[in-house]
Chains A and B, each alone.
Chain A
Amino acid sequence: MLRTEQNDLLTQTGPGTPMGGMFRRYWIPALLPEELPGNECPPVRVKLLSERLIAFRDTNGRYGLIDEFCAHRGISLWFGRNEECGLRCPYHGWKYDVTGQCMDMPSEPEHSDFASKVKLTSYPLVERGGMLWAYMGPPELQPPLPEWEFATVPPAHSFMSKRLQECNWLQALEGGIDSSHVSFLHRGDLNSDPLFKGARGNQYNLSDARPVFEVVESAGGLYIGARRNAENDRYYWRITQWVMPSFTMIAPRGDHSVHGHFWIPIDDETCWTWSFDYHPTRPLTDEEVAAMRAGKGIHAKVIPGTYRAVANKDNDYLIDRAAQKAGRTYSGVEGFAMQDQAVQESMGPIVDRTKETLVSTDSGIIMMRQRLLRAIRAIEDGMTPPGIDVAHQKVRSAAVVLPRDQPFKDGAREAMIAQPGVAPATV
């Protein structure tokens, strides 16, 4: 459990907060390119790390992410006219470019140069690997562009989605770190979900329902290994990667695509769950992409025109008690994504970690929290936190079978590094 002040430290990510300062040191997923589909398309409201912003794409295709509100009288620039290389407020015509610089104040006398003195806060917004990434930190500390493998493979090899999650980012990340819930919450889906079923490794899951966990520090965060008995005196390992602050990557199954998440705070009580699937050495098939769009695997079906899941807290996640009773799903909620989201949202907008009862299999979560707390202190001491170095991003998860006494960090060392053209380690 955490003390109240530690819980606050890790969950609050607004301006001026220590955890917010940490998030602002990284490039973070901000939008899907489909949200800004063309030059001079309508602007989009964006809220990240408790900051209200507007994203737009100007006449020349440049992306902008600026303060939502006009400097004049505080009108939302969501009403803005995207024209002539800028976003023009409809109230008095003030226009801003993608850097937030005011370029025109038609309501002022023609000779006035006052516009040059007005500039809204703005953040760089770049497209890379099927996502638009934002950097909201000090300009002089801007890191290199992201080098996650899913963002560097050919576009046909990857699929991204995002969905609104109505709880704090940290309890969502903890669900991604926690391997012990898979045998319960997701029971039944391993053999039915088209993006999971059929892998030889699944037999180890079924024959050994009590995995043992090992947590090992990595340069960027943690490796979380779950081992099960395999034949010939060996262990089947599934190794999850966690890289700070909120990237996870789950071990592959068979030749299915590899997947993982980012959880990005919108504010302290909501976050975006970003989900990616990719294959390093082949394009995704039409069937795989169709399944992802339909909410299979780690993706969720969303209400058209929104990024809110069809099954959500307002309809009790369309829970099917008959399916729960019959064992078709353990929770009654359908699909990996919403099974996770339902239980995580039910913990409350910000779970009270002073009241939890942790057990030994929560050691990964505990280590993760401590790693984050230390990273915050390191930032305050002027150091660079883990996860910014692109070497920390060029990682993979892995599924391997190893001799019983071999440390998995040793046995899967090469498999946990992203190597272009090399197939993932999988069973």
Chain B
Amino acid sequence: MNSAAEARFRLPVGAAVARAVKVIALDPACDRLVASRGGISFDHAGRSLSGPPPDLVVMVVTAGSDAPAAARIGQICSDRRITTATFVVRAASVTDEELSRTLAQVRPWSLMVVITNDDDYVEDILRSFR
């Protein structure tokens, strides 16, 4: 029962999911990117998780930057059972050692890490989460 004709009888409306996604910049360089998605800048990171818990927290960080906020946010999310993901935006000039430093800080606190050299992918992925 999997023909194209049968596919017409699938329920026309998808499961209603209102998902709250909080996007947090972990360093000033990501502020612009995050602000365009209505996210929170890094210096508000600690206060940004008050109120109703989001379904997903997405942290955005520039490769090579220092990101101690990742641990603060990650611990809060862990305590409140909130899923986390991190996007690492890597410029071509960033060395592997610099990337390593950032990964060491975000990996312990992220279910998913995406490393990209194009911050447009960050917007695309965030748009995919309803």
Contact = CB atoms under 8 A, between A and B. Distances in A.
A346 B2 contact: yes
Contact of A354 (B14, B100, B107, B124): B14
Interface residues of A, number: 37
A357 B130 contact: yes
Interface stretch (B39-47, B65-73, B111-119): B111-119
Interface string A334-354: 000000000001101110101
Given A212-B107, A363-B112, A366-B128, A357 B10 contact: no
Contacts, number: 101
Contacts of B125: 363, 366-367, 370
Interface string A307-349: 0000001000000000000000000000000000000011011
Central interface residue in A350, A370, A410, by most chain B CB within 10 Å: A370
Interface residues of B, number: 37
Contacts of A213: 111-113
A166 B3 CA distance: 9
Contacts of B101: 405
B17 A357 contact: yes
Nearest to B115: A216
A217 B58 CA distance: 19
Interface in B1-45: 2-4, 7, 10, 13-15, 17, 19
Nearest to B99: A407
Contacts of B96: 407, 409-410
Chain B at the A interface: SS class = mixed
B14 A349 contact: no
Contact of B100 (A356, A361, A405): A405
A22 to B, nearest CB: 18
Contacts of A313: 2
B130 to A, nearest CB: 6
A367 B114 contact: yes
A214 B116 CA distance: 11
Contact of A370 (B58, B107, B121): B121
Given A345-B2, A410-B100, A367 B113 contact: no
B2 A405 contact: no
Given A1-B128, A212-B107, A269-B4, A356 B14 contact: yes
Interface in A393-424: 404-407, 409-410
A294 interface: no
A365 to B, nearest CB: 9
B92 to A, nearest CB: 12
Contacts of B115: 214-217, 407, 409
Nearest to A167: B2
A359 interface: yes
A111 interface: no
B79 to A, nearest CB: 18
A356 B115 CA distance: 24
Given A217-B117, A357-B15, A358-B129, A366 B124 contact: yes
B8 to A, nearest CB: 10
Contact of A355 (B2, B14, B114): B14
Interface in B80-97: 83-85, 96
B60 interface: no
A215 B129 contact: no
Interface of B: 2-4, 7, 10, 13-15, 17, 19, 56, 58, 83-85, 96, 99-101, 103-104, 107, 110-118, 121, 124-125, 128-130
Interface of A: 1-2, 166-167, 212-217, 269, 313, 345-346, 348-350, 352, 354-363, 366-367, 370, 404-407, 409-410
User: Can you list the 3 inter-chain pairs with the closest CB atoms, starting with the nearest?
Assistant: A355-B14, A405-B104, A360-B85
7 contacts: A213-B111, A213-B113, A215-B114, A217-B117, A345-B2, A359-B129, A361-B112
Given A1-B128, A215-B114, A345-B2, 15 more contacts: A2-B128, A213-B111, A313-B2, A348-B7, A349-B3, A352-B10, A355-B15, A358-B130, A360-B111, A363-B85, A363-B112, A370-B125, A405-B107, A407-B115, A410-B100
